[in-house]
Each structure stands twice: as structure tokens, then as C-alpha cells.
Structure 1
Amino acid sequence: MSAEYKETKLTLIRHGESQCNVDGIIGGESGCTGLSRLGHEHAKALGERALKTGEFDEVEVFISSTLPRAIETLDHLIDALVERSKIRGADFDPTIEKVSDLVEMQPGQADGMTWGEFLEKYGAHDFRQDPHKPIAPGGESWASFMQRASDALEKVASEHAGKSIAIACHGGVIQASMVNFLGLDNYGARAGLRPDYTSLTKWAGGPGEWRLVRYNDISHLIGLDLNSSK
């Protein structure tokens, strides 16, 4: 390995609780209305952690999916990092990239429906049993979602090779990182991976040599009332 080699670091941040989650609405581009009251508290807690620990000081690139719940989560983090830069007397004027391929599974015609309406119209579906079946007309299957999200992560890592990158995204995208970087079955792993709200999952390395540094780190939520906004 070259002495000039520098690892790429990816910190994946799941968004805080979303209002569509509270309301039982399928939250694609139409259904997502951003964070719930508790979701904002989740994201503020992450920001307070970053303000105190400085663990995001090395981050050079900030990326968000294009869904409001991810954008708002990253906004809270950026606000905290701006405050930290003032305390440190350092310049901090980040550019946030928005990447549409880092959104959650695209629900197609189910976008904006309640889950009750979805079940009535399309019925229950186990993606592990049939990973190639789209969630609804115009939507993605589990397999196509895993591939799309994996490709997006690889593209981000390639475009920003050797840098530290923070990505506000979704539970499914974090699952895709596991599928892709650990070489798991692309068509519905049997292990249950459910990243918590504003959890941190960190990878380091590069193509073909990624290693998992941390998974589902939610230490900033200790002591926070985690009862849903319902």
C-alpha cells in the first residue's frame, strides 16, 4: 500500500424521528414533512454531542439525502458545528451536498398513504421472502433499493476519496452499507438491522477494504425521554 494512501471515512447518521413516522404515513418525497417534535430533540442532542466532543471536527464533506427529515437532522448538526467553530475561533463555512440516491426506499404510488391504506390496497409484503417485488407500482423492490443505495455510497466514497464524510440518511441506507461493505446477501439478509434515530455508523477504508468502526452509536440519547411524539 502506498505511503500516501489516506483512508476514506464515512459517518452515516440516521435522521431523527419523522412526523410521517408518528402519523403512520409512508414518507417518500410527498409524504415526508420533516422531523417530529421528538425528532428535533434527537437531532439537537446529536448536535450537543458534536459541540462537546469535537468528533466531527475532521469532517470535510457533509451530505444529506433529499428528504426533509434527513436535511433537518443535518441542519441541527451544522448549527452546533458553527457554534463550536466560534468557540474555537476557527472558520467553518460548510457546503452541504444533497444526494437523491441516498433517500429511503422509493414507495412509488404508495407515497403519502397511511399504512392502513397501503395494506388495504396492496396487502402485506415480506421483502425477505420476495425481495424483487416492488413495494407498490412505480416503487422499488428491496433488492433494487439495496443496489441503488450501495451504488450511491460507493460513488460518494469515490468522489471524496481520502476525506472524512458525514451523511445524514436513513435506516435502509445504513442497512445497504452493511450489505455492500460486508459482502452480505443483496436480496434480503436474515439478520435484523434496525439503526436507531440519529445513530452513528462509521466506516473507514476504501473499495474492497472497508472496516466497520462503530454501529448504532446513540450515546448522545442517554437520559433523553425517548417516548414517541404520538
Structure 2
Amino acid sequence: MATTRLLLVRHGESVATVRQIVGGAVGCTGLSDLGRLQAERLRERLVAGHEPTVDAIVASTLPRAVETAEILDAELRLGVTTDERLVEHIAGDADGLGWSEVVERYGDPQWDRLPHTRMAPGAESLAEFFCRVGAVLHDLTEAYLGRTVLVSCHGGVIDMALRGVLGLPYRSNHDLWTLNCSFTELAARHADGELPDRWRLVRYNDAAHLAGLPARTEV
């Protein structure tokens, strides 16, 4: 029998979050100072020897996720592979706008509650996002079968991953609020060479390493 583990890490606090703007390919400029400190804390925890040994690091292509992965890899020394399918929910024309401006321009199409609506022109629907996350996690499982892969990604990606694994509806009246630089562990036991047919949620939103840090950058 083999064990495959996915360590899903939400990136550290981003400049886009501090500025309250939509942080897609246009709006994302990387981590805040606090976000870098959060990533350093997580790195210290991962190399202390009490967590599963990481075999590979894969990151979203957005700067905040890449920067988080690179900070972790400064000690893990595995190299960082990127996959654009791990990016946050694609915002289309809303990318780079302030969240209040998004509502002023496009109203509230309930894109986060209805499967077919979009935040703005060119944006991804919730159904498309859910399917994208499911596909990339399947491919990562296949590529790293029997190993532990750390995935530096986004709150929305982790949300969709858990809904898929736990069989929750991807549209509902509840939220999963994943903290910056927390990690969520999924594990599966399976026969050697065979893909898992059942995942186990080992832990969600583990942020013990961030004790003593501010919850957010105050502006």
C-alpha cells in the first residue's frame, strides 16, 4: 500500500488583500511584509521534522503563490513547479479593481452562490472553477502518486478542493474561510500504482505556526 498526500497551502497575506482589490493576473503584485513573515513561519514548521516530508512543491502562477512557494523552498530545496490551473477564481474584467468598484460596475450577480453566473465579463463561473480545480488535483495526484506534494495556492482553490473531496455542494449558503499560510492536508491510502478512490481530510486550516503574529496588516 502507498500513501499520497496533498498539503494545500494558502499563500501568505497579499498586497492585493491589504489594498482590497481583486488579485488576479493584473491585480496581484505578491506578498505583503506580513505575508512574507507568515511564509517564513510555515517554513520553520515544515523543516522542524514533525510534519510529513515534502517531496515536491507546485504553485499557482500568481505572484503571491509563487513567492510563498519560493520562501518555503529556500529551506526545502526541491524547486518550484507552477501550474496555471491552480490560480484563484478568474475574475475577468474585474481583475485589479477594488471590491467596491466591482459591485458598482457589475452589480451583484451572485457569482459566488449560483453555478452559472460570472463576476464580470470574461470571468469564470463557479461551475467552471469547480471543474478546473478537480481536474488539476486529479492530475497532481497522478503525477505524484505515493508521494507528498505541497501545493501553494489560494483560498478559493482549497474551498473547491474540499467541496469535491467531501461531496459538499460547490454552491451553498456557507463559507470555508481558509487563513493565509495555513495548510490543509488530504491523504489517501491506495494500492501501489493505483489512483486513490477515497480521500481523508487529515486537518483543515492548521495555522498553529502563526501564533503571535497579527491577524492582518492594518491600514
Is the TM-score greater than 0.5?
A: yes
Q: Distance in 1 between matches of 2:109 and 2:182?
A: 27
TM-score (norm 2): 0.91
1:146 counterpart = 2:141: no
Change (3 A) 1:106 1:227: closer
What are the within-5 Å matches in structure 2 for residues 24-35 of structure 1? 24-35=20-31
Where does the alignment leave 5 or more consecutive residues of structure 1 unmatched?
Answer: 82-92
What are the within-5 Å matches in structure 2 for residues 1-230 of structure 1? 5-56=1-52, 58-81=53-76, 93-186=77-170, 188-205=171-188, 207-230=196-219
Q: Distance in 2 between matches of 1:134 and 1:128?
A: 8
Q: CA RMSD in A?
A: 1.5
Q: Is the 8 Å Cα contact of residues 38 and 226 (structure 1) preserved in structure 2?
A: no
Q: CA deviation at 1:128?
A: 5.0
Q: Which amino acid aligns with 1:201?
A: T
Q: Percent identity?
A: 40
Q: Distance in 1 between matches of 2:63 and 2:137?
A: 19
Q: Distance in 2 between matches of 1:72 and 1:224?
A: 19
Q: Is the 8 Å Cα contact of residues 38 and 229 (structure 1) preserved in structure 2?
A: no
3-state SS of 1:7 partner: strand
Q: CA deviation at 1:151?
A: 1.1
Q: Which amino acid aligns with 1:157?
A: T
Q: Which amino acid aligns with 1:130?
A: L
3-state SS of 2:78 partner: coil
Partner of 1:89: none
Q: Distance in 2 between matches of 1:150 and 1:67?
A: 19
Structure 1 stretches of 4+ moved >3 Å: none
Q: Distance in 2 between matches of 1:128 and 1:137?
A: 15
Give CA-to-partner distance per residue, 1:139-187, whole Å, 9 cap, x none: 101121111111111111112111110000000110111111112223x
Greater gyration radius: 1
Give CA-to-partner distance per residue, 1:95-144, whole Å, 9 cap, x none: 31101000000011111111122111101232354221011111101121
Q: Distance in 1 between matches of 2:54 and 2:40?
A: 18
Q: Which amino acid aligns with 2:122?
A: G
Q: Is the 8 Å Cα contact of residues 181 and 208 (structure 1) preserved in structure 2?
A: no
Q: CA deviation at 1:212?
A: 0.4
Q: Distance in 1 between matches of 2:110 and 2:5?
A: 33
Where does the alignment leave 5 or more consecutive residues of structure 2 unmatched?
Answer: 189-194
Q: CA deviation at 1:78?
A: 1.1
Q: Which amino acid aligns with 1:106?
A: I
Change (3 A) 1:64 1:229: farther
